[in-house]
Structure 1
């Protein structure tokens, strides 16, 4: 079936957007995808998980972000029109992949994935090629069209240029979330001159490149990404909420496996615990369902589950200290032993959490995920890798920064109505 099944809308639709001002939709195909139940579900999944407990404005959703990535991609394609290497026949494919790239995210995505060993990218693929409204919309473009969209998102599509617009070290996805997350958290780090970057982007054989005259705008973008990771994404308070969230999920799973009788059965999670979750079950899971259970589980008989839910719902988070595994690992067995003696289960209440980020990487062939570096196109038409031209980027290139924190419930240790001596020893070890 040809592309003619979907044409243009009679009149352009616009979404008012605080970051891009307007998001423009002219294609019937895009409008139909936005209307599917799987895409509308993204309104019930926050973009930044537990960050709203640190930055109270961070209530925006994957829905907002997905529209933003679509809009940036649409603008990039406008710049590319009529240029060598750009094939206009791949326009709708690129726009669909941009819109749907995050469709598979679950509630509080990353904590959820860690505990239940699921992968949002796999769910994204299943939603695009499985029995869904999205699949039926895409199918009208041709039998192989849904698979092509999935391939672009999975980075296996033969035309690497199309993939790099949505996923590379400078792509529509990052350009949207940096600005959007900065806007909603209220910080000033995530802002950079996107209009300038879009104007200097050029299509090449296998990737998007940047005109050398736009190098400073790209430096600004990379520094803003660097700052956002350490000031927002890895904020220690957000990580504390995430630690508690992960432990709630872990406790529920452990109790289920032990045959515990819940007052409120976690029906929505059963197939997940049993490892046979269907697509329909997964689509029913969103953050409103998850928060409902957390609210109810505050009343559970199990002391640990109840306490962790109370902490999460009421923002009674764990305290943290800097923790250097190389220097402090000797204290670790003793701390675990003391926590157990004080009847504070170390499995749930003594947690080392690590975050690491690589702000920019040059090309390292053979690595598991080969990151294509950002290339500048020089006035003579030759390509130069960004960190060879930019001192700023060279300074942070390939430098992985890792940060470890130890999380624990300070309130349990300062309440010395029982196990007083043990708790004092714990505190002296933690704060020595």
Structure 2
């Protein structure tokens, strides 16, 4: 029997708080889970700094990846025997679902922004490079790693396979909304996934939804909207993320200035130099990063020391609502005043912006165009979701953006009361009236 067809003697199951069980019968999937690269995901939090706000949010990319695999497994079970589904794509779909987040780094998005890295690029490099993952995928067939990478990269020729893992209603979103809601303890992310899976249909190059399941999809869209604004963009979590980003910026800046670290940032050196390899990247996880932050609390550089202490001890920046377009003059004045009183605005005065587009219809030719969610009507015609749903139509194509100005309140409060600049800073920050 070919390796790609081999099954475990007994089905393996993972107990899961969201899906109850994650079922594994394919030897390929079991072998992939056991690789060093996949096990590393246990040490990468799914929600980055959100645990400082929601203390239960300690779950990992490992949890989530298994969940996405399980949802795709259930989708494919429902697709069996349908004319538009090519059963030969089954194992490819399962592998891509399992490995779609393989390249995430510690504190994922903050890390990527600071060092100009791309987790999707590293996912591809891990799958195609000299790794345990690659060795297993090549046993399926020599070109199989490239196929998996293409699905994750959204360039695979069979768009139906891609749409299950990356679309506006995919297994990735369906898992993280429910999983993140469960671990943060909120109710926003819950929707009737079982109903959605039952009404999913494979049509040519996409997954569509039977019209009778429209209300379950409406619930899913609104759950996503609420999760982004109540959890993912929570201003306290963003404060921790701002400090995290500034720590990484400061460490890189000090390295470039030949600062003598008490603890040499060995694991960061290739990243600071812009020459990071896959091997270097895989050595980094959140336990490593937090170790450096813990030790850097004793560094001689006052900014790095202070920022690390803030992050490790949850002494976060305060924030105010801020409109960068209307408050440009105030921002410039605050920057000047912070500099004059000895507070470095590059690290202690930060505008952070978050934006989300909960659902969009297809706009041909536009950058970042998104394929819509299509409903399969009783007459077998396809209708774009927002044309049938007043709820979805009301939020379609509407991008919402939120801006906050973050600053260290304790630094401002410890300025001498007789310093007139303190009073002006407090007025600009809304801490006192003029």
State TM-score, norm by structure 2.
0.98
Alpha-carbon shift at residue 3 of structure 1 (Å)? 4.7
Structure 2: gaps of 5 or more residues: none
Alpha-carbon shift at residue 307 of structure 1 (Å)? 0.2
3-state SS in 1 of match to 2:362: coil
RMSD: 1.0
Contact persistence 1:42–1:61 (CA under 8 A): yes
Query: What are the Cα deviations for residues 339-366 of structure 1, in whole angstroms up to 9, with x where unaligned?
Result: 0011000000000000000000000111
Indicate how the Cα distance of structure 1 residues 418 and 111 shifts in structure 2: closer, same or farther if over 3 A, else same. farther
Cα distance in 1 for residues equivalent to 2:370 and 2:4: 37
Alpha-carbon shift at residue 423 of structure 1 (Å)? 1.7
3-state SS in 2 of match to 1:326: coil
1:228 aligns with 2:227: yes
Worse-matched range after superposition: 292-301 or 422-431? 422-431
Aligned to 1:333: 332
- Number of aligned pairs? 431
Equivalences for 1:270-289 in 2 at 5 Å? 270-289=269-288
Equivalences for 1:211-250 in 2 at 5 Å? 211-250=210-249
Aligned to 1:15: 14
3-state SS in 2 of match to 1:376: strand
1:118 aligns with 2:99: no
State TM-score, norm by structure 1.
0.99
Aligned to 1:367: 366
Aligned to 1:260: 259
3-state SS in 1 of match to 2:209: strand
Cα distance in 1 for residues equivalent to 2:418 and 2:307: 21
Alpha-carbon shift at residue 417 of structure 1 (Å)? 3.5
Aligned to 1:385: 384
3-state SS in 1 of match to 2:355: strand
Cα distance in 2 for residues equivalent to 1:80 and 1:6: 19
3-state SS in 2 of match to 1:356: strand
Equivalences for 1:72-83 in 2 at 5 Å? 72-83=71-82
Alpha-carbon shift at residue 420 of structure 1 (Å)? 2.7
Cα distance in 2 for residues equivalent to 1:410 and 1:156: 48
Aligned to 1:109: 108
Cα distance in 1 for residues equivalent to 2:2 and 2:156: 19
Alpha-carbon shift at residue 332 of structure 1 (Å)? 1.4
Alpha-carbon shift at residue 173 of structure 1 (Å)? 0.1
Alpha-carbon shift at residue 5 of structure 1 (Å)? 4.7
Alpha-carbon shift at residue 324 of structure 1 (Å)? 1.0
Contact persistence 2:3–2:28 (CA under 8 A): no
Cα distance in 2 for residues equivalent to 1:417 and 1:59: 40
Aligned to 1:147: 146
3-state SS in 2 of match to 1:407: strand
3-state SS in 1 of match to 2:325: helix
Query: What are the Cα deviations for residues 390-417 of structure 1, in whole angstroms up to 9, with x where unaligned?
Result: 0000000000000000000001001124
3-state SS in 2 of match to 1:248: helix
Cα distance in 1 for residues equivalent to 2:58 and 2:302: 30
Alpha-carbon shift at residue 275 of structure 1 (Å)? 1.0
Query: What are the Cα deviations for residues 365-392 of structure 1, in whole angstroms up to 9, with x where unaligned?
Result: 1122221000000001000000000000
Contact persistence 1:298–1:309 (CA under 8 A): yes
3-state SS in 2 of match to 1:25: strand
Indicate how the Cα distance of structure 1 residues 418 and 301 shifts in structure 2: closer, same or farther if over 3 A, else same. farther
1:376 aligns with 2:380: no
Contact persistence 2:3–2:139 (CA under 8 A): no
Contact persistence 1:342–1:419 (CA under 8 A): no
Cα distance in 2 for residues equivalent to 1:303 and 1:423: 21
Query: What are the Cα deviations for residues 84-110 of structure 1, in whole angstroms up to 9, with x where unaligned?
Result: 210000000000000000000000011
1:358 aligns with 2:357: yes
Cα distance in 1 for residues equivalent to 2:75 and 2:307: 45
1:290 aligns with 2:293: no
3-state SS in 2 of match to 1:330: helix
Contact persistence 1:243–1:351 (CA under 8 A): yes
Alpha-carbon shift at residue 111 of structure 1 (Å)? 0.6
Contact persistence 1:8–1:26 (CA under 8 A): yes
Alpha-carbon shift at residue 333 of structure 1 (Å)? 1.2
Alpha-carbon shift at residue 421 of structure 1 (Å)? 2.0
Cα distance in 1 for residues equivalent to 2:97 and 2:386: 27
Worse-matched range after superposition: 416-425 or 178-187? 416-425
Query: What are the Cα deviations for residues 10-34 of structure 1, in whole angstroms up to 9, with x where unaligned?
Result: 0000000000000000100000000
Alpha-carbon shift at residue 418 of structure 1 (Å)? 7.6
Aligned to 1:39: 38
1:345 aligns with 2:368: no
Equivalences for 1:391-430 in 2 at 5 Å? 391-417=390-416, 420-430=419-429
